[in-house]
Amino acid sequence: MTHMQGKTAVVFGVANKRSIAWSIAQKLQGAGAKVIITYQNERLAQEAAGLIADLPGADGFQCDVSSDAEIDHLFAQLKSKFGKIHTVVHSVAFAPAEELKNDFLLTTREGFRIAHDVSVYSLIAVTRAAVPLMEDGGSVMTMSYLGAERVVPRYNVMGVAKAALEATVRYLASDVGAKKIRVNAISAGPIKTLAARGISGLGEMMKELADKAPLRRNVEVDEVGNSALFLASDLSTGITGEVIHVDCGYNVMGF
């Protein structure tokens, strides 16, 4: 597979080897891409170093996407080291834990602000910083979830943030399309990552999904990685502003 030969990809959201972003990074590298992994802070640098060592040719940089200064600094470094980039993978989301436990009605102003800042605004900021480096055109992608479209109990403010994220994908796609830059989202089915751990009832949700989904199973992280590779590659040059469901078909069912 050489679909990404000569292309450079920047991946945000690798926390550990179970991360969706890690699966995507591996698929991109396997297809010939030069992969840059970012990690949020010093504390996560160790974990990232171990992963980067497993990915031939990969590089790591620190970047907290909630900081404009860190985003600017990252892309300045990327410009001087690599000149141009072709792919951005945004696989970042956060809401304060309490917001995912109580009724949505109890969403706090601060919880709402944090969820939207980290999970939505960061895509705008990262895309804006990446555009000048995407001289050959490019592909930007983010991760969404069905809770953007329908009520998933306890997903709460993250559902509202994912709805805003999906709208953001469409507005960004419209702004950068003339530069041959595409912006899309993958709406993945539930996967047991670090972000999903400790979410009560996730096990039962996944059992129910495996019963009801057309493919009668849950999605595997590798399948999200493969779809991400498709969106990063020139196989998808006609697709932008889109939300692709990679969920074993669960979203199409009404009953």
Task: Write out the catalytic residue numbers.
Answer: 145, 155
Question: Which of 75, 94, 121, 250 touches ligand 0WE by CB under 6 A?
Answer: 94
Question: Which of 44, 45, 124, 199 touches ligand 0WE by CB under 6 A?
Answer: 199
* DSSP run (H or E) holding 177: none
Taking CA atoms, 112 is separated from 48, 69, 98, 117, 197, in Å, by 29, 23, 11, 9, 21
- Report how far residue 200's alpha carbon sits from residue 203's, in angstroms, rounded to the nearest whole number: 8
Tokens representing 202 are 């996730």
Q: Kindly indicate which of the ranges 1-9, 41-49, 91-99, 130-138 contains the residues binding ligand 0WE, using the contact rule CB under 6 A.
A: 91-99
Burial of 216 (0-12, 13-18, 19+ CB in 10 A): exposed
Site string for ligand 0WE, 152-171 (x = CB under 6 A): x-xx--x-------------
Question: Which of 48, 190, 225, 228 touches ligand 0WE by CB under 6 A?
Answer: 190
Task: Please report the DSSP string for 100-134 in residue order.
Answer: GTS-GGG--HHHHHHHHIIIIIHHHHHHHHHGGG-
* Residue 196 touching ligand 0WE (CB under 6 A): yes
Q: How many beta carbons lie within 10 A of that of residue 247, not counting itself?
A: 23
- Report how far residue 245's alpha carbon sits from residue 172's, in angstroms, rounded to the nearest whole number: 19
Q: How many residues bind ligand 0WE (CB under 6 A)?
A: 14
* Residue 111 touching ligand 0WE (CB under 6 A): no
* Residue 106 touching ligand 0WE (CB under 6 A): no
DSSP assigned state of 82: H
Cβ closer to ligand 0WE: 75 or 145?
A: 145
Question: Which of 74, 93, 131, 244 touches ligand 0WE by CB under 6 A?
Answer: 93
Question: Which of 14, 52, 95, 172 touches ligand 0WE by CB under 6 A?
Answer: 95
| Single-letter residue type at 176 | V
Please state the closest distance from residue 64 (CB atom) to ligand 0WE, in A.
15
Cβ closer to ligand 0WE: 190 or 225?
A: 190
Binding site for ligand 0WE (CB under 6 A): 93-95, 97, 100, 145, 152, 154-155, 158, 190, 195-196, 199
